[in-house]
Amino acid sequence: VRARLRVKTERGARAYHKIWNTIAIIRGARWPDEWVVVGGHRDAWGPGARDNVSGTVAVLETARAFAVLAQSGLRPARTLLFATWDAEEWGLIGSTEWVEELEDSLAAHAVAYINEDGTFSGPTFTGGASPALKPLIRDAARVVPDPTGPGSVYDVWLRRNKGDTAALTLGNLGGGSDFAGFYHHLGIPSGGIGFDGPDGIYHSMYDSYDWMSRFGDPGYAAHRAGAQLVSVILGRLANADILPLDYAAFGSEMSALVAQLDSGLARKPWTVSTQGLKDALDRFTGVARVFNTARDGAAGIDSARAARVNRALMQVERRLTRPEGLVSRPWYRSLQFASDLDNGYATMAFPTVNEAIRYADAATVEREIADLIA
C-alpha cells in the first residue's frame, strides 16, 4: 500500500491562537471567601463526545442545579466556581494560565478543585483524588443511584468487589489533565469521578455522539449519575460547617506508600532509612484522628470559629509544597504526588525521593527524606 500524508505546519504569527476559559460564579451566603471550584476542558481532538463533552456537560448540569437552588433562595454557604477550560489538549494551557494568573487568590481562598475529564463512557464507577477527599467521594457514592443498578453507586461498586470494602480504592492524581495547576502547583486538594468502559476511541474521530449513544452510554444514564455525584460532592464541600477533608485517611495512605520507597531502596547498595518519615506520618495521622473525633462530635459551631478551623484545614496540603518545586521540575511544587517524569499520565508518590532513587542519587534521597519529615 502506498499512502500519501499531507502535513500542514503553523509557524510564527500563524501559530498563535486565541483561547477562552469560561467561569461562572455563585457567591456563597455564609463563607463567600472560601471557594469550591469544578471544571472540565471544552476542547477536543475530534468530536470529543467522551473527551471531553461528557465532562463539560457534568460541569454545566451541576451549575444548572445550583443555579435553580440559588434562584429559589437556597445559595451555597461557600462560593462555587464553574469553569470550562480551553486548550487542555495542547498542554493544559487554559487552566494553567488561569491558575498562574490567580495564584495568590486561589492559595488564599480555594477549598478544593473537582475535575471532570473524559469521564462517562461505560458502567464502571472510577475516580481519583487527594487521599483527603476520598472518604467524601465514597460517601457521595452511597446516595446516588447507580446507572446500572440496583442500588446506589456504592452498592454496585461493593458487589463488583465481592463485598470487600478494602478493595473500594480510588486512584491518586498523576498528570494529563486540568487538576495539575491546582494540585501539583498550588497544593489545593483535587479529585474527580467517572464511569468507564472499554472504548478504543481515545483522541480519534470515532469519539462521537453516534459512538456514545450506541456503545459508550446508551440512554446517558452514566452521564446522569456522574452529574449527580459531582453535585453531591460540591454540595457537601460547599455547605459543611467544617470542611470534609479527612487527613487521617490522607496520613494512612501516605504511610502505606512509603513501602514504594523501601522497595526502591532495597535494590540499592545504600544504608538510607525511611523510619523517620514513617514516624512523622504516624504523628501526623494520630493528630488527624484526634481532630476528626472532635469534628464529628462538634455541634452548633459558630461561623467565626468554623472559619478559623477551615483556614487551618486549607493550609495542610499547601504546606506540603515548596516554592522551589521538585529538583527535576520546578513548576511541580507538591511533595506528595506528581506525574511520573517518564510517563506524563502515571502517578508518582513522594516524587522528589522516588526520582532520586530511580536515578541513583543517594545524597539527594537522604536530603529529600529529611525535607519530607520536616
Q: Pick the closest to residue 321 from 223, 218, 190, 196 (CA basis).
A: 190
Return the pLDDT at 149. 87
Please say whether the beta carbons of 366 and 359 come within 8 A.
Answer: no
Q: Quote the Cα angle for 312-318-323, to 5°.
A: 140
Q: Helix, strand, or coil here: 234?
A: helix
CA distance 130 to 334: 12
Return the pLDDT at 299. 82
Supply 298's cell numbers.
Answer: 462538634
Q: Pick the closest to residue 319 from 298, 301, 335, 331 (CA basis).
A: 335
Q: Pick the closest to residue 83 from 176, 158, 178 (CA basis).
A: 178
φ, ψ (nearest 5 deg) of residue 48:
70, 30
Positive/negative CA dihedral, 139, 144, 311, 105: positive
CA distance 240 to 242: 5
Specify which residues 24 forms β-bridges with: 82
Q: Helix, strand, or coil here: 69?
A: helix
121, 125, 129, 135 alpha-carbon torsion, rounded to 10°: 160
Q: Is 103 a catalytic residue?
A: no
Supply 189's cell numbers.
Answer: 486538594
**Full DSSP string of 106-135:** HHHHEEEEEE--S-BSSSEEEEEE-TTTHH
Place of cell 480551553: 86
305 CB-near residues (< 8 Å, 6+ apart): none
> Radius of gyration over alpha carbons of the chain, in Å?
21
From first to last of the 374 residues of the chain, give the pLDDT tens digit. Answer: 999 999 989 899 988 999 999 999 999 999 999 999 999 999 999 999 999 999 999 999 999 999 999 999 999 999 999 999 999 999 999 999 999 999 999 999 999 999 999 889 999 999 999 999 999 999 999 999 999 989 999 999 999 999 999 999 999 999 999 999 999 999 999 999 999 999 899 999 999 999 999 999 999 999 999 999 999 999 999 999 999 999 999 999 999 999 999 999 999 999 999 999 999 999 999 999 999 999 998 888 888 889 999 999 999 999 999 999 998 999 999 999 999 988 888 999 999 999 999 999 999 999 999 999 99
CA distance 168 to 129: 13
Supply 20's cell numbers.
Answer: 477562552
Q: Catalytic residue among 88, 253, 317, 368, which?
A: 88
